[in-house]
Amino acid sequence: MEEGDGTYVKQPRVFFPHAFKFLAPDSLTGAIIGAKGAGIQEIQDTTETKISVADKDSKYATTNMRIVLIRAHTVESMDQALCMIIDRLPSAKENPTYKAINNGVDEIDLVGKNEGEFKFKCLVPKAAAGGVIGTKGANIKELGDTTQCRIRVEVRSQLAKEIRTIEERKGGSPSEACVEQVVSLLGTLESLQAAVVRVNFFVQECSNLPYFQNWAHLSSSMPKGWGKGRSGATLKGKGWDRTPIGEGDMDDDLLLLRNTLQKMPRHLTDSQTFALQACLPVDKMSGLIGKAGSGTKEINQETGAKVTLRDDAPNCTVMIEGTLAGTLSAYMLVMKRFLELAGDDDEGGYEGQDDQEG
């Protein structure tokens, strides 16, 4: 802005106390932005919000989606903007990017199996994810029942836990801002809108916390050090754009797991349900289940995979079902619980038999 004497006065940056982040495939970002930016401008003008979209080459870790950031002065205007964006999901499906360029790859992240169902992935601080889940899963059940939307809190927090451990080992001071989780919604447009408004409530409850404004940026809140291979080179291509973890930060086992997961075709594995079966001593069955099922419920909440145990004396048969990453993570947590239970025994480890199928 210029004053009367022609001198330039820098305008102060507008402060938005509220923010919300979600993940969008290219077809949805295209529908939001619109021709020559007309679409995004319409949403901003109508709701008095500010919407920013990550660069096309900046995909969120292990996904083919970009972060979209909405900033607002009020919770109500944020709700309105989110509902307007969800209204554009059908047009995203008709987007040429969806049909031609990606050859349907976006379908994995955009539409459900049933007619009229769409997916919407929110990226929320850990505290907000905890609010969505509630005590013993009470909130997430109530949300699903009242909105008729399928809601799942994904286990991406495990990545952040590993990173926080790395930071602590380096003498750093890990922040809650480093821990964010994906809340996946699946349902009709109306159910998605009802659910996302509720999720937004839990996110904005965090808006007064010290780390919130640091979290409210287009970049992932994953700290520096995630995503490098042994050579120190940044992992490029689909699903990887994070600042790398150096070789010295990960032991061989973690490197093996990460590199194997990276090789999996996400556009194929995300649409499948995987099952894994293991046999453990039946005398550890009650300990694995936990009091009132607390052991298996905790694993389910953390990984999204379903864990069931059956008494097939002298063995206990463990069945795990879920996404590929969720199933493998749940298996490791079951084994961790078993090893802790067997820690007082002199028998040492037990070699479980497993069989994975798609």
Supply 81's token pair. 């903007």
- Domain ranges (residues) in the chain: 18-215, 273-357
Helix (H), strand (E) counts: the chain: 16, 10
Q: What is the pLDDT of residue 199?
A: 97
Instruction: Find out whether 332 and 285 touch, Cβ atoms under 8 Å.
Output: no
The answer, yes or no, to whether residue 358 has pLDDT greater than 60, is no
Give me the CATH topology for the region 18-215. Answer: TATA-Binding Protein (3.30.310)
pLDDT at 96: 59
Assess contact for 120 and 86: CB atoms under 8 A.
Answer: yes
Average pLDDT over the chain, rounded to whole?
A: 76
> pTM score, two decimals?
0.57
Q: pLDDT tens across 104-121, in order? A: 445 677 888 888 899 999
Radius of gyration (C-alpha) of the chain in whole angstroms: 22
Answer whether 341's CB lies under 8 Å from 287's CB: yes
Q: Which of 80, 159, 92 is nearest to 120 (CA)?
A: 92
Tell me how far apart the alpha carbons of residues 17 and 285 are, in angstroms, rounded to a whole number. 49
Residue range 164-188, pLDDT digits in tens: 554 555 454 444 445 788 999 999 9
Report pLDDT digits (tens) over 221-240: 544 433 333 223 333 333 33
Query: What is the CATH number assigned to the segment(s) 273-357?
Result: 3.30.1370.10
Please give the Cα distance from 126 to 157 (Å, whole number). 8
Helix ranges (DSSP H) in the chain: 26-33, 38-47, 75-86, 89-93, 96, 107-110, 126-133, 138-147, 157-169, 189-204, 212-215, 252-263, 266-269, 285-289, 294-303, 324-341
21-40 burial, b for 16+ CB within 10 Å, e for fewer? bbbbbbbbbbbbbeeeeebb
Q: For residues 132 and 201, give the distance between their C-alpha atoms in angstroms, rounded to a whole number.
A: 9
User: What is the mean predicted confidence (pLDDT) over 46-57?
Assistant: 91
Determine if the peptide bond prior to 96 is cis (ω within 30°). no
Query: How far apart, in whole angstroms, are the C-alpha atoms of residue 227 and residue 306?
Result: 28
> In angstroms, what CA-CA distances link 61 with 237, 244, 261?
11, 11, 12
Interatomic CA distance for residues 34 and 28, integer angstroms = 10
Q: Is 107 left (phi over 0), alpha (psi -120 to 50) or beta?
A: alpha
Q: Residue 21 is inside which H or E element, if any? A: strand 18-24
- Do residues 63 and 182 make contact, with C-beta atoms less than 8 angstroms apart? no
Cα 224 from Cα 226, distance rounded (Å): 6
pLDDT, position 52: 93
Separation of alpha carbons 343 and 352, rounded Å: 16
Provide the Cα torsion 257, 258, 264, 269; round to 10°.
80
Q: What is the pLDDT of residues 60-105, one digit of tens each?
A: 877 788 999 999 999 999 999 999 999 999 988 776 554 544 444 4
Residue 153: in which H helix or E strand, if any? strand 150-153
